[in-house]
Structure 1
Amino acid sequence: MKIVDVVASPGLTGFYFDDQMAIKGGAAHDGFTYNGEPRTPGFRAVRQRGESISVIMILEDGQVASGDCAAVQYSGAGGRDPLFLAKDFIPIIMEEIAPKLVGQELDSFRRLVGLAENLIRPNGERYHTAIRYGVSQAILDGVAKAKKKTMTEVILEEYKLPLVLEPVPIFTQTGDDRYDNADKAIIKRAGVLPHALINNVETKLGKNGELLLDYVEWLKNRILTLGGDSYRPVLHIDVYGTIGIAFEDSTERMVDYFAKLEKAAAPLHLRIEGPMDAGSVEGQIEQLKSLREALKTKNIKVEIVADEWCNTYEDIVKFVDAQAADMVQIKTPDLGGIQNTIEAVIYAKKYGVGAYVGGSCNETDAGGRTAVHVSLATRPDQMLAKPGMGVDEGYMIVHNEMSRTLTVLKYREGKKTHSEEAFWS
């Protein structure tokens, strides 16, 4: 089965591009937007609409395969590629990448994504991570259609992975509506919650961390009240480096604060993502490792999740090799081709580090569904419900794709069933 043509269409994402530097610098909320001037190059405003590009491949039997190019909410921050706008990148896709794909045989996902990943622009630069991300999704979809298999089965086959007919825990994110949306996640019995978007010291963390402590205590009590005796999700909160800011990167002070967080969360298990931002890969590894070792010394069981400066496959290998974190977020758009996410999960698990197939609220439904197949094949500890910040939509997209795929895989294994009780436990 060959690719006979490639076209591209502009689209919108499930959220927005936010200028993280401006927000950390104190840009104030004004309704749903922010006041203030943008600080990150390429931004026209502190918050602007998220944009995507659908890469659409026409196959020789008339089928259509597609994938969505998208970049994360905080584009241009933490070492990431710059802002991704459709008008700037559709011409690049059509003029420089499409001709390389037309005529290719859809016989191997790994072969074709290797070709796309290693393409170099005429100016000598690599293609934007968002482009590599979307093109790789389209290739995976195309190979699956050519072989009449699910994307999960293609990954299992090409990476020689075992089939496990169980769901992967889904992590929901609340955005700034961290109370009502936490209720939604609890009612839906999400496996991991709430993310909570703690990206400002004064308004969300508290100068001494008191606002987050109050929130964790509230969240724990809310889960125990609404969830019943059988529901014990993992708490996972992204603090965007604000703990480091509040406690002046003092490991001793941060450890004391983590002890308070652990007590507030008990009996639930707690993960903290991005406790500080050291400003570089090497600095982040050093500071996270120091904090992790100090927490172990004090027998504090709060886990650290690496996010900022852990962007590429090569970065993830460095964090894993250093044992700098308990878990790495594998932020799918930041890694470029989806094969890098697959290989990052495999690598992290091999060396005993937790793997989290993340991404961004600022993706599309296509990215969310593709991530489900990657997760079902590679078995990370959790995957993100995406796109969006409203809980309902992203959770529905990811949950339902997972349920459909598992049902098909069970059918093919001769385990036809109408029961998916594992999703509701």
Structure 2
Amino acid sequence: MKIVDLVCSEGKTGFYFDDQKAIKMGAKHDGLFYIGEPKTEGFTAIRQAGESISVMLILEDGQVAHGDCAAVQYSGAGGRDPLFLAKDFIPVIENDIKPLLVGREIESFKSVAEEFDHLQVNGKRLHTAIRYGITQAILDAVAKTKKVTMAEVVKEEYNPEIELKRIPIFTQSGDDRYLNADKMIVKGADVLPHGLFNNVEEKLGLKGELLKEYVEWLRDRVKQYKTEEDYSPIFHIDVYGTIGEAFDNDTKAMADYLAELEEAAKPYQLRIEGPMDVGSRTAQMEAMRDLRAMLDERGINVELVADEWCNTLEDVKYFADNKAGHMIQVKTPDLGGINNTIEAILYCNEVGVGAYIGGTCNETNRSAEICCNIAIACGAKQTLAKPGMGVDEGYMIINNEMNRVIALAGRRK
């Protein structure tokens, strides 16, 4: 099947771009807005509408394949590529990528995706968001050419032995961690609530007491309102390094506290994402490795999830090789081409470390659907309900896409 045209359109994402530097410097809230001047290049406000670009490939039979270029909430921070604004990057796609795709036969995904993921323009690789969206569109084009789902394309090219089946969906609450947890329980979410515990004094507690109280509340809430007797969600809470901050990154003290959380969560399984942030890639790997080893040695049944300092395919492999956590979040936009997301999950599976398709609230329905196909085809441990922070919308998008894919693939069996 030949690509006969490429068309771009500007879009909005399911959340916002936030200037992390300004926020860390103390910018205050006024409702949804932040007060003050932005500190990161490219921002015109500390919080501004998230933007995306839909890349539509017109195939010779009239079908349209498309993917969405999108970047994370904290764009331009932590070594990431700069703020992703549609007006700045549509010309790059139209001038530098379109001529390379139009007129091309598109029959397989992997080799073409790798080509565009590594493409350089004026000596530089493309923005991660562009690589993300272009490779999505290529995957969709191959699926439409073969008249199968995108999951089936990934399965055929990367993971032919996999059974396409439902995997757990992980819902995220944002700061509204009580009301949104109720939504998750009503929906019967497999994994909940994320929680956004990103401040010691206000959210975790100086001795971890506030998080412990929340875990106890969540446990009791599930027991009280679950509609199915066998409903047993996993509690997955992201603490953004605050446990390490509260306990001076002392491995034994952190393990002791996690043992308390394990008891508070029972009978539900507990996962803690980003327990510490020690400031560098190697040190973070070592801290996660050592804490996991201590938990395993002491029989503390809390799973650690790597996040901070684990942003690229190479980082994922580094953390997985060293068993720096029981699970790794694969942050899809930061990896660039979705071929890297596929490789990351399969590598973790190979070495016996869990991997989940994460990403950002600041994506689109389209990038979320395509990530869902990848998660199913690669046998990820779980997949994030995205975009947005409202629970219902992200859960609907992922749940419904998952069921559609499984139903269609099952029909062809």
Regarding TM over 0.5, the answer is: yes
Q: Deviation at 1:85?
A: 1.4
Q: C-alpha separation between the residues in 2 aligned to 1:87 and 1:4? A: 24
Matched, 1:98 2:98: yes
Aligned partner of 2:161 in structure 1 is 162
- 8 A contact 1:3–1:102 mirrored in 2: yes
- 8 A contact 1:348–1:355 mirrored in 2: yes
Q: Deviation at 1:39?
A: 4.1
3-state secondary structure, aligned to 2:125:
coil
Q: 1:276 to 1:144 in 2, by over 3 A?
A: same
Matched, 1:132 2:116: no
Q: Deviation at 1:117?
A: 0.9
Choose 136-145 or 196-205, whichever is displaced more: 196-205
Q: 1:34 to 1:264 in 2, by over 3 A?
A: farther
Q: Deviation at 1:30?
A: 2.2
Q: C-alpha separation between the residues in 1 aligned to 2:53 and 2:300? A: 44
Q: Deviation at 1:320?
A: 0.6
Aligned partner of 2:273 in structure 1 is 273
Q: Deviation at 1:17?
A: 1.6
**What letter corresponds to residue 207 of structure 2 in structure 1?**
N
**What letter corresponds to residue 215 of structure 2 in structure 1?**
V
CA offsets per residue over residues 206-236 of structure 1, 9 Å max, x none? Answer: 2222221111111111011111531111011
TM-score, structure 2 normalization: 0.96
- 8 A contact 1:386–1:398 mirrored in 2: yes
Q: 1:100 to 1:165 in 2, by over 3 A?
A: closer
Aligned partner of 1:417 in structure 2 is none
Q: 1:201 to 1:305 in 2, by over 3 A?
A: same
CA offsets per residue over residues 142-200 of structure 1, 9 Å max, x none? Answer: 11111111111111111142242420100010111111110111111011010111122
Q: How does 1:236-255 map to 2 (within 5 A)?
A: 236-255=236-255
Aligned partner of 1:290 in structure 2 is 290
Q: C-alpha separation between the residues in 2 aligned to 1:23 and 1:271? A: 27
Q: Deviation at 1:350?
A: 0.5
3-state secondary structure, aligned to 1:410:
helix
- 8 A contact 1:80–1:311 mirrored in 2: no
Q: 1:388 to 1:229 in 2, by over 3 A?
A: same
Q: 1:258 to 1:36 in 2, by over 3 A?
A: farther
CA offsets per residue over residues 343-378 of structure 1, 9 Å max, x none? Answer: 111100110000101111110000111011101111
Aligned partner of 1:63 in structure 2 is 63
Q: Deviation at 1:47?
A: 2.1
Choose 98-107 or 393-402, whichever is displaced more: 98-107
Choose 320-329 or 23-32, whichever is displaced more: 23-32
Q: C-alpha separation between the residues in 2 aligned to 1:70 and 1:7? A: 16
Q: 1:270 to 1:160 in 2, by over 3 A?
A: closer
3-state secondary structure, aligned to 2:215:
helix
- 8 A contact 1:78–1:279 mirrored in 2: no
Matched, 1:190 2:189: yes
Q: 1:341 to 1:170 in 2, by over 3 A?
A: same
CA offsets per residue over residues 10-47 of structure 1, 9 Å max, x none? Answer: 11000112233444454433212333444444333332
TM-score, structure 1 normalization: 0.93
Q: C-alpha separation between the residues in 2 aligned to 1:317 and 1:367? A: 23
Q: C-alpha separation between the residues in 2 aligned to 1:240 and 1:101? A: 41
Q: How does 1:29-108 map to 2 (within 5 A)?
A: 29-108=29-108
Matched, 1:212 2:211: yes
- 8 A contact 2:57–2:64 mirrored in 1: yes
CA offsets per residue over residues 392-422 of structure 1, 9 Å max, x none? Answer: 0010011001111111111112xxxxxxxxx
Aligned partner of 1:264 in structure 2 is 264
Choose 371-380 or 156-165, whichever is displaced more: 156-165
Choose 319-328 or 256-265, whichever is displaced more: 256-265
- 8 A contact 1:23–1:200 mirrored in 2: no
Q: 1:400 to 1:256 in 2, by over 3 A?
A: same
Identity %, equivalent residues: 61
Q: 1:245 to 1:353 in 2, by over 3 A?
A: same
Choose 15-24 or 328-337, whichever is displaced more: 15-24
**What letter corresponds to residue 141 of structure 1 in structure 2?**
D
Q: C-alpha separation between the residues in 2 aligned to 1:368 and 1:229? A: 30
Q: C-alpha separation between the residues in 1 aligned to 2:201 and 2:163? A: 45
The runs of 5 or more residues in structure 2 that have no matched partner are none
Q: C-alpha separation between the residues in 2 aligned to 1:304 and 1:345? A: 17
Q: C-alpha separation between the residues in 2 aligned to 1:23 and 1:251? A: 29
Aligned partner of 2:317 in structure 1 is 317
Q: C-alpha separation between the residues in 2 aligned to 1:80 and 1:305? A: 21
Q: 1:372 to 1:251 in 2, by over 3 A?
A: same
3-state secondary structure, aligned to 1:292:
helix
- 8 A contact 2:162–2:379 mirrored in 1: no
- 8 A contact 2:70–2:130 mirrored in 1: yes
The runs of 5 or more residues in structure 1 that have no matched partner are 414-425
- 8 A contact 1:328–1:354 mirrored in 2: yes
**What letter corresponds to residue 218 of structure 1 in structure 2?**
W
Q: C-alpha separation between the residues in 2 aligned to 1:78 and 1:287? A: 19
Aligned partner of 2:378 in structure 1 is 378
Q: Deviation at 1:315?
A: 0.8
Q: Deviation at 1:87?
A: 1.6
Task: Supply the RMSD in Å over aligned alpha carbons.
Answer: 1.5
Q: C-alpha separation between the residues in 1 aligned to 2:201 and 2:41? A: 25
Q: C-alpha separation between the residues in 2 aligned to 1:169 and 1:44? A: 38
Q: Deviation at 1:307?
A: 1.0
Q: C-alpha separation between the residues in 2 aligned to 1:82 and 1:92? A: 14
